[in-house]
Amino acid sequence: MKEKEAKLNAEAQQPELNLNFEEAMNQLEDIVSQLEHGDVPLEKAIDLFQQGMRLSQICGQKLAQVEQKIEMIVEEDGAVAKQPFQPPLSDNADF
pLDDT in tens, 10-42: 444 455 668 899 999 999 999 999 999 989 999
Q: What percent of the chain has pLDDT over 90?
A: 41
- Per-residue pLDDT for 1 more than 60? no
CA distances (Å), origin 40, targets 25, 32, 43, 82, 83: 20, 11, 8, 50, 48
